[in-house]
């Protein structure tokens, strides 16, 4: 039997823990889908040491846990989650990597004039990264304007927006290895072979992403005006496509080149747009979005996912793979 009370007491009373810890925390309002019951414990550390401390204790007590960033790709369960939600929400900042402070393995890289490294803590909202780039005349991240969620979540998912994957601008990252009870911190220059469409080295790997460093370029003169302009253009395109009309977790299924058409189109061709189960609906305006129209439950979303998979399999022979994650 898990002893959550002793876990909470330990963390709360630890002199070196910085952050928040609460019990029986409602999850629905914390997710973009607005679905889910409570988490037995919700902990949001503020610094490296507090994450290490929390993860060490979770492992020592063998508590079930789940890492959450902006919860924009997640479906929280209808029943209470009997475990610890470890949130990066309080671990947020973006800064230019100090020039005189490059690690040795950076030295070998042939930096060009105007290359700028920007480091973000995992919980930094993607919107904050884009704003930081606009303020500092940095180009490279505009396509991610309007993407909900955090830098850590986007790295885990290798988010892809307007034909650009996050890995296209990642240079370096740090993570904590929670397969080791000491929770050591590792760092690595990006190895493109570890990344692919919606694939990252963090998936199925017991790694908590702590920072991500992006390689961006500084623009000058009139050219720098384009950064804000393009960022606005991408955000507007999302608005026009209806992304924020209803609570959702974005695209439900991954695309697959072998299908010859986007997953949303296949779902549309099965006549499923507008289909509703309980309070969840396949968006009438986007075949690959499931929206929460009226107090949807995770089970409603799951039923729609299974329906779309069944119909697409019957009609086209393709197995749709989910992108959203059910906790």
Q: What is the DSSP string of 189-213?
A: E--GGG-BTTB-TTTTTTEEEEEEE
Pair of tokens at residue 284: 């009438």
- Name the residues annotated as catalytic: 251, 323
C-alpha dihedral sign at 17, 23, 25, 31: positive
Pick between residue 111 and residue 128 the one whose CB is nearest to ligand FAD.
128
DSSP state of 146: T
Pair 63, 84: CB distance under 8 Å: yes
Q: In the range 122-181, which residues lie near ligand FAD by CB under 6 A?
A: 122, 147-150, 152-154, 156-157, 159-161
Pick between residue 60 and residue 239 the one whose CB is nearest to ligand FAD.
239
Q: Which position among 173, 202, 234, 259 is part of the footprint of ligand FAD (CB under 6 A)?
A: 202
With tokens 């993860």, the residue in question is 55
Question: Under rule CB under 6 A, how many of the chain's residues touch ligand FAD?
Answer: 32
**In terms of Cα–Cα distance, which of 46, 59, 64, 49 is closest to 2?**
64
Q: Which listed range, 38-46, 61-69, 106-114, 253-261, lies at the site for ligand FAD (CB under 6 A)? A: 61-69
**In terms of Cα–Cα distance, which of 176, 159, 84, 97 is closest to 125?**
159
Q: In the range 96-125, which residues lie near ligand FAD by CB under 6 A?
A: 122
Residue 42 touching ligand FAD (CB under 6 A): no
Q: Print the binding letters for residues 238-267 with ligand FAD: x by CB under 6 A, - otherwise.
A: -----xx---xxx-----------------
Q: Which listed range, 37-45, 69-77, 215-223, 306-314, lies at the site for ligand FAD (CB under 6 A)? A: 69-77
Q: Which position among 25, 27, 30, 32 is part of the footprint of ligand FAD (CB under 6 A)?
A: 32
In whole angstroms, give the CA distance from residue 40 to residue 18: 20
Residue 235 touching ligand FAD (CB under 6 A): no
Pick between residue 208 and residue 259 the one whose CB is nearest to ligand FAD.
208
User: Which positions ≥6 away from 283 have C-beta within 8 Å?
Assistant: 242, 246, 248, 273, 274, 289, 290, 291
Q: Which position among 38, 52, 73, 139 is part of the footprint of ligand FAD (CB under 6 A)?
A: 73
**In terms of Cα–Cα distance, which of 201, 300, 200 is closest to 252?**
300
Binding site for ligand FAD (CB under 6 A): 32, 67-74, 88, 122, 147-150, 152-154, 156-157, 159-161, 202, 208-209, 243-244, 248-250, 325
């Amino acid at each position: 039997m898990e002893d959550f009370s002793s876990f909470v007491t330990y963390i709360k009373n630890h002199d070196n823990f910085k952050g928040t810890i609460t019990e029986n925390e409602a999850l629905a309002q914390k997710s973009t889908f607005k679905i889910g019951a409570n988490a037995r414990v919700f902990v949001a550390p503020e610094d490296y040491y507090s994450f290490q401390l929390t993860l060490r204790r979770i492992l020592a007590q063998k508590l079930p846990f789940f890492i959450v960033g902006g919860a924009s790709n997640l479906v929280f369960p209808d029943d209470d989650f009997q475990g610890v939600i470890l949130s990066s929400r309080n671990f947020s900042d973006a800064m230019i990597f100090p020039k005189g402070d490059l690690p040795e393995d950076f030295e070998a890289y042939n930096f060009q004039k105007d290359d700028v490294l920007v480091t973000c803590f995992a919980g930094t909202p993607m919107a904050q990264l884009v704003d930081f780039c606009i303020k500092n005349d940095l180009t490279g991240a505009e396509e991610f304007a309007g993407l909900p969620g955090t830098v850590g979540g986007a790295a885990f998912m290798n988010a892809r927006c307007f034909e650009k994957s996050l890995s296209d601008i990642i240079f370096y990252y740090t993570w904590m290895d929670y397969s080791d009870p000491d929770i050591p911190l590792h760092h690595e220059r990006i190895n493109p072979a570890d990344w692919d469409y919606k694939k990252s080295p963090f998936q199925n790997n017991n790694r908590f992403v702590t920072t991500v460093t992006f390689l961006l370029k500084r623009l000058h003169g009139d050219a720098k005006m384009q950064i804000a302009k393009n960022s606005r253009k991408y955000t507007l395109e999302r608005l026009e496509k209806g992304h924020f009309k209803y609570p959702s977790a974005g695209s439900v299924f991954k695309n697959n080149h072998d299908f010859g058409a986007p997953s949303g189109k296949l779902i549309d061709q099965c006549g499923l747009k507008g289909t509703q189960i309980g309070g969840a609906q396949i968006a009438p305006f986007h075949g690959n979005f499931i929206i929460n129209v009226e107090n949807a439950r995770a089970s409603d979303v799951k039923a729609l996912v299974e329906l779309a998979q069944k119909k697409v399999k019957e009609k086209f022979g393709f197995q749709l793979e989910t992108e959203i994650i059910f906790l």
